[in-house]
Copies of this chain bind each other. A is one copy, B any other.
Amino acid sequence: MTDLTVDFGNALDAEATPGVSEGALERLDERVGRAHETITAGMADGEFGYASLNLPERTDADRITGTVSGIDADHVLTVGIGGSALGAVTVSEALGLGDRHHTLDNVDPAETRRLLDSLPLDRTAINVVSRSGTTAETLANFLVVEEALEEAGVDWTERTIVTTGQEGPLRVAAEEYGLPALDVPEGVPGRFSVLSAVGLVPAAVLGGDIEAVLDGGRAGREALLDGGSLFDYPGYAYGAVSYALEQRGATVAAMLPYAESLEPFAEWFAQLWAESLGKDGLGQTPARALGATDQHSQLQLYRSGRHDKLVTLVRPRERPEVRIPETEVEGMRYLGDTALGELLDAEFEATEASLAAADQPNVRIELPRIDGPGTGRLLFDVEAACVLAGELMGVKTFTQPAVEWSKRASRGLLGGGEFAEADAVAEKTTRIVGDE
C-alpha cells in the first residue's frame, strides 16, 4: 500500500484568511458524498472522463513493454503536445529517466533544430502521440523529425512508436509503415491519460518500472473506492479544500513541490487544473513553482501580496542522502555535517510556517518517496481531486471548448481551410508604443 497524506490544517479559518471552518467542511462533505456516487457510477459505467480513474486497473503494462521491446534505444524523443507530453515527462523524471527523455512539444524552429542536432538519432526512439492524429504541432514536428532521420541515414520506420486513437492520419501512417502502435484509451481526455500508454511509453523504452507506477495508481483508486468522504480519502480532501478556498477568494493555486524531480508534476498539475476547471468564469489559476528555489522569488508575493492564493507544498518523506562537508569558515559552520535534504526540509517547514504566520492558506501533501508507486499515487489522487472539484463547482470537467477556437484560427491562417476565426486575427486593434 502506497500512502499519501493531505494536511489542510493551515487552510482552516482559525489559521488563514481566506480559510474554511470545520463546520463548513462537514456540511460540504454531504455534497462530497453525493459527488462520490456520481464519480463511482461513472467509473463503473466507463463514462467519458470518469473512465480515467479506471486506468490503473485497465492499463496493461506488459502490452506496453511488449510493443516497445523491438526498439533498442538510449534516448526517447516524444513528439506530442499538452496531455500527450506532460504526463510522460512527469513519469520519466520521477523515475530518474528524465535526462534521456526529450520532448518536441512546441513548434519553435530554433529549439527543434537544437534538439535534433544534439540527439544521437540512431540510438533514439521516436514516440509520436496524438489522440486525434490531427494535432498540427505534432504532425509538423513528426514530418521534420522523419526528414532529419532520413538525412542522418536512419530508417525512421524502425525507430518510431505511435500512440493514437482508432482513426486519423497517425493511425493510417502506423498501418502503412507497420509501426508499433498503442491506443490512446477510450473515454479519457489527454490531460487524464498519464496512467496509460500515453504517459508510460517513454519510461518503458528506457527500462523504467511502469508496473510500479500503476501500483501506486491502484493504491489511490482503492483508497478512493473505500472512501467517499473528504475526511477519509486524501484526493477528496485536496479537491474539496481547493474548492472551498476558491469559493472564499483563493483564485490562484500555487503548486510548490520541494523536489526537482517533481518540477514537471507542477506543469502537469497546471494543465490538469486549468483545462479541467477553467470554465464558466471559474477556476483557479495554477502558478507553478519549485521549492526551495522559488522562496527566493515568489515567497515575497505569497506572504505579503493579496490573500488570493492557496499554496500547496509537496514533499517526499524520504530523500537520497548527500552530506554537506564540514567547514571552518565563519558563518558557514552551522551547515557542516548536515545533509542537503535536511536543509531542504527545514526550508519546506520554514516556508509553510511563514505563510501560516501571515495567515496565507496552504496545504501540505506528503508521499513516502519519489519513485514509481509514490508518483502513481500522487498523480491518481490529484486527478481524483480535480474530478471532485469539478463536480462541486458544477463545471464540465472533461471538455476544453476554449482551446478549439484558436486551433481553427491558426489552421485558417495557414490555408488549411476556411474558418471565420482566422478573419478575427486580421481585425486586431493595435495601439503600439515604440518603433517597429
Set of chain B residues within 8 Å of A143, measured between Cβ atoms: 324-325, 327, 332, 335-336
Which stretch of A44-52, A53-61, A225-233 is in the interface? A225-233
Q: Of the candidates B134, B271, B351, B352, which one forms a contact with A331 in the assembled complex, judged by CB atoms under 8 Å apart?
A: B134
Asked if B287 contacts A301 (CB within 8 A), the reply is no
Interface pairs (6), CB distance under 8 Å: A251-B308, A278-B301, A281-B306, A286-B287, A353-B424, A357-B421
Asked if A10 contacts B144 (CB within 8 A), the reply is no
A82 contacts partner chain B, Cβ-Cβ < 8 Å: yes
Minimum C-beta distance from A283 to chain B (A): 4
Q: Mark A368-401, 1 if CB is under 8 A from B, else 0.
A: 0010000000000000000000000000000011
Closest to A416 in B: B334
Set of chain B residues within 8 Å of A118, measured between Cβ atoms: 99
Complex CA distance for A349 and B419, rounded to whole angstroms = 14
Q: Of the candidates B114, B293, B433, which one forms a contact with A233 in the assembled complex, judged by CB atoms under 8 Å apart?
A: B433
Closest to A309 in B: B285
A79 contacts partner chain B, Cβ-Cβ < 8 Å: no
Within 8 A of B (CB), among A330-345: 330-332, 334-336, 338-344
Given the interface pairs A275-B300, A300-B278, the reply to whether A349 lies near B431 with Cβ below 8 Å is no
Given the interface pairs A414-B335, A424-B357, A434-B5, the reply to whether A301 lies near B285 with Cβ below 8 Å is yes
Asked if A402 contacts B432 (CB within 8 A), the reply is no
A436 contacts partner chain B, Cβ-Cβ < 8 Å: yes
A428 contacts partner chain B, Cβ-Cβ < 8 Å: yes
Complex CA distance for A105 and B298, rounded to whole angstroms = 14
Asked if A283 contacts B271 (CB within 8 A), the reply is no
Set of chain B residues within 8 Å of A260, measured between Cβ atoms: 106, 108, 110-111
Given the interface pairs A285-B287, A350-B425, A413-B349, the reply to whether A405 lies near B357 with Cβ below 8 Å is yes
Q: Identify 17 new A-B residue pairs, CB closer than 8 A, beyond the known A14-B429, A353-B409, A354-B409.
A: A5-B434, A10-B429, A82-B295, A82-B297, A107-B292, A110-B260, A172-B329, A237-B434, A251-B251, A278-B305, A283-B304, A285-B309, A334-B415, A334-B417, A343-B414, A347-B410, A349-B409
Q: Mark A160-171, 1 if CB is under 8 A from B, else 0.
A: 000000001100
Set of chain B residues within 8 Å of A407, measured between Cβ atoms: 350
Within 8 A of B (CB), among A174-221: 190-191
Within 8 A of B (CB), among A123-170: 133-134, 136-137, 139-141, 143-144, 146-147, 168-169
Minimum C-beta distance from A60 to chain B (A): 27
Complex CA distance for A403 and B346, rounded to whole angstroms = 15
Within 8 A of B (CB), among A227-273: 230-234, 236-237, 251-252, 254, 258-261, 267, 270-271
